[in-house]
Chain A
Amino acid sequence: MVERSEHSLTEILKAASDPTRRAILTLLAQHGPTRVTELAARFDISLNAVSKHIKVLEAAGLVSRRTLWREHLIEVRMEPLVLIDRWFAELRSIWDLRLEALDKLLTEEKPE
């Protein structure tokens, strides 16, 4: 397990733990690059609030920003989500092993 990727995973999960931020990601995935002002309008929240959410997503590498004329376009970055997939696989294998051990423990415990 690489410590650095765990750190990023924590950041990604933190960033994704907020329903509004997940909704922003979903919208960006469906609609492609979107203006900050348009995001604010779609979610009926202030420009300031949407900017804060975007900063958190940006820090986790889940979105990137590019400037076109004077508008900031926000784009979803899918690459970091691979880490979530990996984390899921690891979590599954850990619980699998524990349940296997539980089964073994309780099966062998029976008086013959």
Chain B
Amino acid sequence: MNDMSHNDLTMTINRRIGAPPAKVYDAWLDPEKLIQFMANCKGMTLASATTDPRVGGRFSMVMNTGEKDIPHAGTYLELTPHSRIAFTWESQYSTVEGSTVTLDLQPDGAATLLTLTHVRFANEGSRDGHKSGWSTILDGLAATTL
């Protein structure tokens, strides 16, 4: 196994971006900028992007693999200028509801410390009082595969 956090399927990435939080914040809400950085993976290009940066507003982007279009979209949940952006994340393979992405921006001199958190199960409930940690289940998996 590896060292990533499995607890309730939360993934966190920390990264230093060489620009101040205001620039980083604006880039995430600017369709022209999104086109330039969101598709930079696995030979994809971003064909189009739209944003409606207000809480409850929608964004959408269409990635192209050369063969087919893969639409991504979401709704802004939180927009706190220059420190936090949270949105739902819907993609072809994210058919389970409750996938959200949160970006936290901390100034670090002239740069930004960005923390990206992708949570699979945002509507985590404890209605029956039972613990339902993925870590326990996956500890079992680690033991099984040893």
CB distance from A95 to the nearest CB of B (A): 6
- Additional 6 contacts, C-beta under 8 A, given A44-B128, A81-B141: A10-B95, A78-B141, A93-B41, A94-B41, A98-B37, A99-B15
Q: Give every chain A residue within 8 A of B133 (Cβ-Cβ).
A: 26
Q: How many residues of chain B are within 8 Å of chain A by beta carbon?
A: 49
- Tell me which of A44, A88, A102 contacts B11 (CB under 8 A): A88
The interface of chain B, by Cβ under 8 A from chain A, is: 1-2, 4, 6, 9, 11, 13, 15-19, 23-24, 27, 33, 36-38, 40-42, 93, 95-98, 114, 116, 118, 120-121, 124-128, 130-134, 136-138, 140-141, 144-145
* Residue pair B128, A110 in contact (C-beta under 8 Å): no
- The distance in angstroms between the C-alpha atoms of A109 and B19, with both chains bound, is 10
Chain A positions near chain B (C-beta within 8 angstroms)? 6, 9-10, 13-14, 17, 19-20, 22-23, 25-27, 29-30, 43-45, 76, 78, 81-82, 84-85, 88-89, 91-107, 109-110
Establish whether residues B9 and A84, one from each chain, have CB atoms under 8 Å apart when the complex forms. Answer: yes
Q: Give Cα distance in the complex from A6 to B125, angstroms.
A: 26
Q: Which residues of B contact A45 (CB under 8 A)?
A: 128
Interchain CB contact under 8 A, B137 and A29? yes
Q: How far is the CA of A17 from the CA of B123 in the complex (A)?
A: 9
Cα–Cα distance between A1 and B39 once the two chains are bound (Å): 17
Considering only CB atoms, which chain B residue lies closest to A7 in the complex? Answer: B93
* A-B pairs with lowest CB-CB distance, top 5: A101-B40, A106-B19, A22-B132, A23-B130, A101-B37
With a cutoff of 8 Å between Cβ atoms, the chain A residues found around residue B42 in the complex are 94, 97
**Is A102 a contact partner of B17 (Cβ separation < 8 A)?**
yes
